[in-house]
Chain A
Amino acid sequence: MFYLTADFGSTYTKLTAIDAEEFRILATSSAFTTIETNIMDGFYSALKKLETKLGKLHYDRILCCSSAGGGLKMVALGLVPELTAKAAKLAASSAGAKVVKTYSFEISHSEQIEIKDINPDVVLLCGGTDGGNKEVIIANARRLSEIDQDFSIIVAGNKSASYELEEILKSSGKDYVITDNVMPVFNHLNIEPAKQCIRDVFIRKIVDAKGLSEVQQMASGEIIPTPLAVMNACELLSKGTKNSPGIGELMAIDLGGATTDVYSMASGKPIAENVLVKGLPEPFSKRTVEGDLGMRYSLASLADELDMDCLGKEIGIDSQDIFQWITHCISNPDAVAATGSRELQMEEILARSAIELAVERHCGIMESAYSPMGIIFSITGKDLTEIPYIIGIGGILINNPHHEAILKGALFKPDKKNSLRPKSPKILLDKQYIFASMGLIGTLDPDLALHLMKEEININNNN
């Protein structure tokens, strides 16, 4: 059995050829894809590259994922920021979407306009526990209906509002589906049904809209969003199969041009004793995506977050020079820093900083309160201090000789003790960029995918 996987990105199409009998990756290749041309051009030139390595390819199955056309662009709405709005964001992120913005309470007129300008593919509308608040979700359904854009709406809020919501959305003419609440009971997450609906809408509507129908005809199964494939791969690597154990808890980081994605496969339970757990319980498999942290398209917003003088001093380069390089990269997204150059040094410190910020946002925080009994500690979010592995994925990290130093941006900082980042993980690399591919293979042959991933990151296959 031969498998071919194809990952249709915004700029590159990446292919992986796998021999399932031999448990081997035969070769990988990639080709530049432009937004202007047909998406299949990139596929065929990547295929040609593969065939020059391997000769004429006869594959039995071809599996595809895509983040083309900016990926699956979503906005999420909830009621209270720390509750249903957060749950909505978690659901959309773990379905592989790029959550551009999250809104809470009744949205304002300017937020309505903002959503129109964002022009999302899908909107996830939540709010209220079952039997709880109905007013806000109903008001927001009305406001969304008024927006003159062709997005799909997935409703995953208070079930008691479903009659009213159905009526509003039916007359809006928009594509919509109503599913189970992301938070049916106070502080209980239920994101799977919403996640499944997002996947269905992606297959039913987005694939076409992003010019992927030709890809879909060729593919042996449904196309899924690339981050979902990566998430599935991480989950498989962590949990293992019934025949072979996984490697346990892990974090994976994908530093891209537009976003920085952080995945954690971990319970995140507090390590210290006698700490109080606060806030929404988070899922074992969690993904966060930072749309303002990236190495090309989002460099401007990344730079806004950084103290450039301080970073410049660290590498002995004037901050003005860093700003110049940033400006250059924003207007030339295909800019590459030469090996050993000052530009590469700048790239590395920017990359490390993006990872620092993204991981800080992903991890839980510890807070202390003074009480008559002394200090009491509480944790909101996941405690990831004891995570044993961090895996770097994505082109930017793979192609940088100092990827380990960059990934160390994820580590626990003594001067920021309240951020529960990993303290002493082993740092690993997805050298050949196979994680998305393995997420696809895992649906058909999980043992094969698990074996290949362990090999890729050099973790003993005999355990």
Chain B
Amino acid sequence: MKRKTIVTGVIGADVHAVGNKILAYALEDAGFNVVNLGVMVSQEEFINAALETSADAIVVSSLYGHGEIDCSGLRDKCNEAGLKNIVLLVGGNLVVGKQDFADVEKRFQAMGFTKAYPPGTSVETTIEDLHQFIS
């Protein structure tokens, strides 16, 4: 079976690099073909990378609290670019302060994300879900 390709990176002006490195390493280790764009990645860069590599999923991280602004419109742009039904996951510290995560998740799903994850989501959960979403 062909290895599944995942594009990952930290969106916006966010420079939190540690989680991104760990996540990319863990996904690679789990058998995915990982295209890691690193930190400060724009929506266009996610889309361009997914187009060229024919990616199966885009895994977006946002740690600094501006996730909502940075992620809005990403699904629409994916649709425009012809990345139809691509799996879009987002996680990290998506919003500022302590908010009810069910609410947060709803807002991200309304933006078109397949799933949004609360702070401290383990890499095991991430991998398990990815297998499920792109099988």
- By a beta-carbon cutoff of 8 Å, the part of chain A in contact with chain B is 79-80, 82-84, 127-129, 131-134, 183, 186-187, 276, 278, 369-373, 376, 378
Instruction: Give per-residue flags for B57-85: 1 if the beta carbon is below 8 A from chain A beta carbons, else 0.
Output: 00000001110000000000000000000
Contact with A along B21-54 (1 / 0, CB 8 A): 0000000000001010001100001001101111
Per-residue interface assignment for chain B, residues 1 to 18, with 1 indicating a CB less than 8 Å from any chain A CB and 0 otherwise: 011010000001111000
Q: Flag if B13 contacts A371 (CB, 8 Å).
A: yes
Complex formed: what's the CA distance from A278 to B77 in Å?
A: 20
Alpha-carbon gap, A183 to B52, bound state (A): 9
**In the bound complex, CA of A127 to CA of B54 (Å):** 11
> Which of A132, A183, A276, A376 interacts with B54 by CB under 8 Å?
A132
Closest to A79 in B: B52
Contacts of A371 in B (CB 8 A): 12-15, 64
Closest A residue to B53 by CB, please name it: A132
- Whether A80 and B53, one on each chain, are in contact in the complex, defined by CB atoms closer than 8 angstroms, is no
What is the CA–CA distance of A128 and B13 in the complex, to the nearest angstrom?
27
| A378, B3: Cα distance in complex, Å | 32
Inter-chain contact A186/B35, CB cutoff 8 Å: yes
Which residue of chain B has its CB nearest to the CB of A186? B35
Bound Cα distance from A404 to B39, whole angstroms? 42
The answer to whether A132 and B52 touch across the interface, beta carbons within 8 angstroms, is yes
CA distance A376 to B14 in the complex (A): 10
Known contacts A376-B13, A378-B40: does B33 contact A131 (CB below 8 Å)? yes
Chain A residues within 8 Å of B15, by CB:
371, 373, 376
Q: Which of B13, B35, B65 has the most CB of A within 10 A?
A: B13
Chain B neighbourhood of A127, CB < 8 A: 52
Residue of B35, B49, B52 most packed against chain A (CB within 10 A): B52
Contacts of A132 in B (CB 8 A): 5, 52-54
CB distance from A374 to the nearest CB of B (A): 10
When the two chains form the complex, which single residue of A82, A133, A376, A378 contacts B53, counting CB atoms closer than 8 Å? A133
Contacting pair B40 A369 (CB below 8 A): yes
Give the residue of B12, B52, B66 whose beta carbon is less than 8 angstroms from that of A133: B52
Pull 19 A–B residue pairs with CB atoms less than 8 Å apart, ordered by A. A79-B52, A80-B51, A83-B49, A83-B52, A131-B53, A132-B5, A132-B52, A133-B51, A186-B49, A187-B49, A276-B39, A276-B40, A369-B13, A369-B40, A371-B15, A371-B64, A372-B13, A376-B13, A376-B15
Quote the shortest CB–CB distance from A156 to chain B (angstroms): 14
Cβ–Cβ contact B13 & A186, under 8 A: no
A278 to B42, CA, bound (A): 10
Q: How far is the CA of A84 from the CA of B53 in the complex (A)?
A: 11
- For A79, what are the chain B residues with a Cβ–Cβ distance below 8 Å? 51-52
Which A residues touch B51, using CB under 8 A?
79-80, 133
Q: Across the interface, which residues of A come within 8 angstroms of B39, CB to CB?
A: 276
Give the nearest-CB partner of A183 in chain B: B52
Chain A residues near B2 (CB-CB < 8 A): 131
The answer to whether A84 touches B13 (Cβ under 8 A) is no
